[in-house]
Amino acid sequence: MEPRCPFTHVLDTLGTDLHAEAAHLRTHGPAVRVELPGRVLAWSVTRADVAKQLLTDPRLAKNARHHWPDWIEGRVGPDWPLASWVAVESMFTSDGADHHRLRTLTAPSFGPRRVEALRPRVRAITAALVDALRAAAPGETVDLHTRLSYPLPTTLICDLFGVPEEQRPEVRRVVDGVLATDATPEHAKAMLDDLFAAMARLAATKRAAPGDDMTSELIATRDAQGSRLGEQELVSTLILMIGAGSETAVNLIDHAVALLLTHPGQLALIRSGEATWRDAIEEALRLEAPVMHLPMYFAAEDIDLGEGVLIRAGEPVLFAFGAAGRDPGLHPDRPEEFDLTRPDKSHLAFGHGRHYCLGAVLGTMEAEEALTALFDAFPDVELAVAPEELLPQESFIVNALRSLPVRLAPAGGQP
């Protein structure tokens, strides 16, 4: 009898305890059968070595339109809660020559030099947000998520893509909406329609009145062979770049701040010069990666992983990028402890292989600026709730906090 995985786990759509769930899955094999919303079956990969192996395996594909029979034949459609992750036509959902073409058209905007040139703009946004926090009274609770972590990356990405002020609330709403994993079919379909409509409106605005922004650049750019983005590819690329260009950084900033505030000894290492903000960011990415289960990959051919696990051609695969950093196989020494002096902080928070996240450099730089400004301005900042009271966002896709309540200065102190 051919090898199969005898165990099926229903993923928690509310993301109640992502790390415990991932650790549980890791014990059941190199890949584990999981049930997604809508009773869709997929494979979850939580082991770092298996993830690295598969993410460079040419037998694994990204295009549902070519490799997922349930999507091709209509058994799964636009009313599926995760439809936005497969319905788009961007480098995120492309393979081979298409992926190369689309990445070539977009990658230059997020290269290290272009990103470093953005540092003054990031610093200015951060300074304005931190200055606004100074109005808080000593002992007053403020939500750093809504006052710093969220507005910094979302403001920057909207600026970069030239999103008009009047369009920003809707763009933010639809981008945030794709992260829900417990949506009803009706809500999922409406959100997908709204997502495409919002980005199509932005594209139309920039086509009518081009500006000095990345949307206008994408509309005008051609590759060396003269190819340019088609309309569906343009809209899908905006969805990808505006969404991925903000969400990852939001979660990284939230978690890095929360980890430093709950580990004062580690924060002291930075203040004494024994560790750096970059150490804190890399360790936060390892321990609390911004994304847990990222949809979707597909087996283009049968893939036998051993240990009785066979992924058949056409079956979907989720990579638990947020689980890799805590994998004892990758970090045998205290994998669940936050330690800035850890020599090896390797992780898969930004993916691996040909689909490695283009925004990794930008997200890291935003976090570095946010942490530096926050802790310089408010050296006595402290959590306003017990660590266990920090509530996760209801999603198995992202590892995110709903809020980050802090006191910027103790009662009776100076703001």
Confidence (pLDDT) at 414: 47
Q: Which of 240, 244, 270 is nearest to 257 (CA)?
A: 270
pLDDT at residue 326 tops 70: yes
- What is the rounded radius of gyration, in angstroms, for the C-alpha atoms of the chain? 21
| pLDDT reported for residue 412 | 62
Alpha helices in 45-162 (DSSP H): 48-55, 64-67, 69-72, 84-87, 96-106, 112-117, 119-133, 144, 151-160
Taking the CA of residue 126 as centre, how many other CA atoms within 13 Å lie in the half-sphere pointing to its CB? 23
* Share of residues in the chain with pLDDT > 70 (%): 96
Q: What is the pLDDT of residue 227?
A: 67
Bridge partners (DSSP) of residue 211 are: none
CB 30 within 8 A of CB 307: yes
CA–CA separation, 176 and 320 (whole Å): 20
**Closest C-alpha among 120, 381, 151 to residue 249:** 151
The residue-averaged pLDDT of 345-374 equals 95
Q: Is the dihedral of CA 383, 388, 393, 396 positive or negative?
A: positive
List, for residues 18-56, the tens digit of each pLDDT value. Answer: 999 999 999 999 999 999 999 999 999 999 999 999 999
What residues have CB less than 8 Å from 403, skipping those under 6 apart?
143, 145, 146, 390, 391
- Asked if pLDDT for residue 181 goes beyond 70, the answer is yes
Average per-residue pLDDT for the chain: 93
pTM above 0.85, yes or no: yes
Give the pair of three-digit tokens for residue 70.
């349930």
Q: What pLDDT, on a 0 to 100 scale, did the predictor assign at position 106?
A: 82
Ranking 80-94, 221-235, 327-341, 372-386 by mean pLDDT, the lowest is: 221-235
Q: Is the pLDDT of residue 1 over 50?
A: no
For residue 35, which phi and psi values (nearest 5 degrees)?
Answer: -105, 125
* Tens of pLDDT, residues 182-233: 999 999 999 999 999 999 999 999 999 999 999 999 998 865 556 678 889 9
User: Does 371 have pLDDT greater than 90?
Assistant: yes
